[in-house]
Amino acid sequence: MSDAGKVNKGASRTPLTFGYEEITRLLPHRSPMLLVDRVEDHEVGEWITAFKSISNQEPVFQGHFPGHPIFPGVYMIEGLAQSSALLTFKTYESRGTRFKNETLLTGVEEVRFRRMVIPGDVLYYRVQLKRERGPFAWFEGQAEVNGEVAAEAKFSARVSVG
């Protein structure tokens, strides 16, 4: 992926953070499928950095895998998608565009899983908005732990506008 892993390094401005209250205002997801704990920073219309702290109490670990918990790769991709929805909704709000809090993935490509994510890890989502056309948007994203890429993908989504 191009610059998503480099966002906000060395920036002198104040990070634009927000947490659970704002995330749940924007996203329809709730536990156990809300996969973003906090937004660390974002630039409207450009990129977002968010994270999820992986707890040993995650419900998915009951079956994936008992005695050897591994955070599922599809959950990492979903976390990237939720982060991209947050970026999109913040972008639409800044433009005064009316939208419904619904974003549906329309494509996922070039997915790569590079490392396991386990309890105790903090999973950072770094997503860039690459282009938009009407209600469609295209993104590139990486999920990282300690600066090491755990998963990466290119994906597209449709936002419900109006």
Which active-site residues does the annotation give? Answer: 64
52: which residues sit within 8 A by CB, 6+ positions away?
Answer: 35, 36, 37, 79, 122, 123, 125
- List C-alpha distances in Å: 97 to 42, 80, 88, 111: 18, 23, 11, 31
3: which residues sit within 8 A by CB, 6+ positions away?
Answer: 47, 128
Q: Show the tokens assigned to 12.
A: 């002198």
Alpha carbons 141 and 16: distance in angstroms, whole number: 19
Alpha carbons 23 and 40: distance in angstroms, whole number: 12
